[in-house]
Amino acid sequence: MARIVMKFGGTSMAGMERIRNVAARVKHVVEQGHEVAVVVSAMAGETDRLVGFCKEASALYDPAEYDVVVASGEQVTSGLLAMTLKAMGVDARSWLGWQLPIRTNEAHAKARIGDIDTIDLLASMRSGTVAVIPGFQGMMEDGRISTLGRGGSDTSAVAVAAAVKADRCDIYTDVDGVYTTDPRIVARARKLDLVTYEEMLELASVGAKVLQTRSVGLAMKEGVVVQVLSSFDDPTQTDLPGTLIVSEEELEAKLKEDKMERQLITGIAHDKNEAKITVTRVPDRPGAVAHIFGPLADAAINVDMIIQNVGRDKGETDVTFTVPGADLARALDVLESQKEEIGFNRVIPDTKVAKVSVVGVGMKSHAGVASTMFKSLADRGINILAISTSEIKVSVLIDEDETELAVRVLHTAYGLDAPVA
């Protein structure tokens, strides 16, 4: 017997026929003797509909009332799933965010979960009642409804799993796991059985969007074992069919158990939502660069890769860096307003770039990962515009048109291609 949190997204909850499928899946897990809590999203499209009303009400809508409006979507699906389970003979009840309560901080529309009261919840689960909990919502200290920001239901599920000390948090999505890379780009991409929190964070933040980044960070902090799996697979399959996200220690232990070697590289990610900015002819003196990056940081713009070019006229340099594409316009405004202080000549933006990253905890103990990357790309004539590295990741910035080619080249270079069937 295990205690399992199951989480279903909006696509799985879109309409009563799909909710019945979810209920059948939950019933199957209950019949195996497990204690189950289910965290649900609103029906696909419903949150957009509710946000649309708020935007129609006012461009600057009140965030406290926004939370009242949008939290209703998950309220509806939790009631419907609980009644469907009961109709199938599975004891169940809904627990709304304010009923547990799931306490959050005071940031309407982007709240963070604090602690969750579990006394009543656990008593109910222990008595064999499935707990159905709306994702995305909580209650603030002042007793008002809060929501976590879009995609927050993954985080709700992990937070509930941590609070009830669940053995596993199963996140059902429309993909059947985490892949070595985007299968739409590389047909021979392989599903990963195991991935560490750190790898998942790198894979998610650079474009492999399966789980909300925040939920992975929380799972890592709380040590929640997360499984990503498909809500369209056969519900009677009882072993672990998806991708398990675990700590590095758990990964080591499982590899040892299965007598498997650790892979050098776990996956290849790409992200086309980067923008490159080059600031030309910046005075080459101490502090000049601080005039660029200080104001950008003040504006909460996340700068990723940075290169200080050399070889310009004496006493001047070009500075190149990347920012999220969505922040480009604001970044240009900030730089223009600092022109005096920085003393540059021109600012040249470029959105036709992409970041491609190789990710893997295995590279901690192996040299040569970066040089393999650079050589493989050079062999295919792909020009590297910038480089950044972390302990478990090497990223390069390239021309956007070469993204897919680069991903395929690297997937093969690191031996990730699935065997030909």
Contact residues: its own copies, CB under 8 A:
16, 19-20, 50, 53-54, 56-58, 60-62, 64-69, 71-73, 75-76, 78-80, 82-84, 86-87, 93-94, 96, 98-99, 143-145
As given in the structure block, the two tokens for residue 200 are 């998942």
Closest by CA position to 354, among listed 394, 318, 397: 397
Residue 327: is it exposed, middle or buried by C-beta count within 10 angstroms (0-12/13-18/19+)? middle
Q: Between residues 99 and 376, which has the closer beta carbon with respect to its own copies?
A: 99
Q: Between residues 132 and 328, which has the closer beta carbon with respect to its own copies?
A: 132
Alpha carbon distance 138, 157 (integer Å): 12
Q: Between residues 84 and 180, which has the closer beta carbon with respect to its own copies?
A: 84
Residue 54 Cβ vs its own copies, minimum distance, rounded to whole Å: 7
Residue 172 Cβ vs its own copies, minimum distance, rounded to whole Å: 19
Closest by CA position to 110, among listed 144, 75, 150: 150
Residue 199 Cβ vs its own copies, minimum distance, rounded to whole Å: 39
Alpha carbon distance 136, 147 (integer Å): 5
Residue 80 Cβ vs its own copies, minimum distance, rounded to whole Å: 6
Residue 36 Cβ vs its own copies, minimum distance, rounded to whole Å: 17
Q: Between residues 87 and 290, which has the closer beta carbon with respect to its own copies?
A: 87
For strands 168-173 and 3-8, give the pairing. parallel
**How many beta carbons lie within 10 A of that of residue 52, not counting itself?**
10
Residue 12 Cβ vs its own copies, minimum distance, rounded to whole Å: 15
As given in the structure block, the two tokens for residue 417 are 């291609």
Angle at 59 between CA 40 and CA 103, to 5 degrees: 35
Residue 18 Cβ vs its own copies, minimum distance, rounded to whole Å: 12
Q: Between residues 64 and 255, which has the closer beta carbon with respect to its own copies?
A: 64
Q: Between residues 54 and 192, which has the closer beta carbon with respect to its own copies?
A: 54
Alpha carbon distance 369, 65 (integer Å): 51
Q: Between residues 28 and 86, which has the closer beta carbon with respect to its own copies?
A: 86
In sign, the C-alpha dihedral spanning 278, 283, 287, 292 is: negative
Q: Between residues 20 and 209, which has the closer beta carbon with respect to its own copies?
A: 20
Residue 304: is it exposed, middle or buried by C-beta count within 10 angstroms (0-12/13-18/19+)? middle
Question: Which backbone phi and psi does 400 adopt, to 5 degrees?
Answer: -55, -35
Residue 69 Cβ vs its own copies, minimum distance, rounded to whole Å: 4
Question: Which backbone phi and psi does 307 adopt, to 5 degrees?
Answer: -130, 130
